[in-house]
Amino acid sequence: MKNKALKRLIYGLSLLLTFTPVFSFALTTHTKQDTVTTTGYKLRTIIVDPGHGGKPSGTTGTYSHGASGSYSLERNVTLALAFKLQKELEKELPSVKVVLTRSTDDDVSLQRRAQIANENKGDLFISLHCNSLPDRHVRELVGHKHHKAIYRTVDIPDHSGRGVLMLVYGFWRSREGENAIKQNLIEGGDSELNDNPDPNDPEAMILMNEYKRKYRQRSIHLAELIDHELVDTDGRHNEGIREQGVHVLCHSAMPAVLVETGYIDNADDEAYLNSEKGQDEIVASIVRAIESYKDEVEQVSP
């Protein structure tokens, strides 16, 4: 083969698939690992992305401040979690560099977050968020006129959401993923992808499709590992793993998972998310999942 990147990729991916479980949005499954030997691959850089942020002073425009609870804001909770996660990852995995997409209350655009991840050649992208539900639209009777009932529609806060949710990027956003992967490979010296993959070139198309499949499968597997720790170890309610067209996930050229750590508009979840115990448990669970992931991707079955 003339494509050196393709040679390396096909070799690695043929072995990678031995540890990747079948994906289901409804059911998390885990596969038993065989005896393994090292591949030489090392997980070197993890990007931690605290969701949302406040409007930077002196700027104009619309900013998404994220979800809010009765006394706390998503942007503050996710930043606190990110600092703790960075500290614990650096402690437990000293050989791994941890990069935050924001370290202040100021917001960072979605485009810039993905750019930071790609510029730092991240091997893994973890985005931290808090969930909430929109208000419910309810019709209520307000009276009668000419023997006919008169109704009005009112918005009622919905605080029924609870628990954790994992998001991975959707297939329909694959074009953005291709562009991010191609840019990273070019900057990394893989000149075979200087131009858009030629649909008539089997090697170029196999190369791109295998990169997309590798990143997606690893994203799904990491989401399963995190979900397992948060649910089975910490006893959190589980909303599963879902496919969603999240900008920062599909524009980051690496395995990426968005972790909805809880519903900040639910009183119990909000108390948990703001407590030292809750934050420490969430961070410890994510670290354990990343440690398991690291052990797996740095090894392959013979």
Q: Which residues have CB under 8 Å from 171's CB, separation 6+?
A: 243
Q: Give the separation between CA 283 and CA 86, rounded to whole angstroms.
A: 9
Question: Is-contact 141 147, C-beta < 8 A?
Answer: no
Question: Is-contact 294 43, C-beta < 8 A?
Answer: yes
In this structure, what token pair is assigned to residue 16?
Answer: 């990678």
Task: Count Cα atoms within 13 angstroms, Cβ side, for 268.
Answer: 8
Q: Which domains are present in the chain?
A: 40-55+66-133+162-300 (3.40.630.40)
pLDDT tens string for the chain (302 positions)? 445 555 555 445 444 444 444 333 444 444 444 444 455 789 999 999 999 888 766 565 555 668 999 999 999 999 999 999 999 999 999 999 999 999 999 999 888 999 999 999 999 999 999 999 977 777 777 778 888 888 777 777 788 899 999 999 875 445 555 555 555 554 544 444 444 555 556 665 566 667 778 888 999 999 999 999 999 999 999 999 998 888 888 888 899 999 999 999 999 999 999 999 999 999 999 999 999 999 999 985 43
Q: What's the predicted TM-score (pTM) here?
A: 0.76
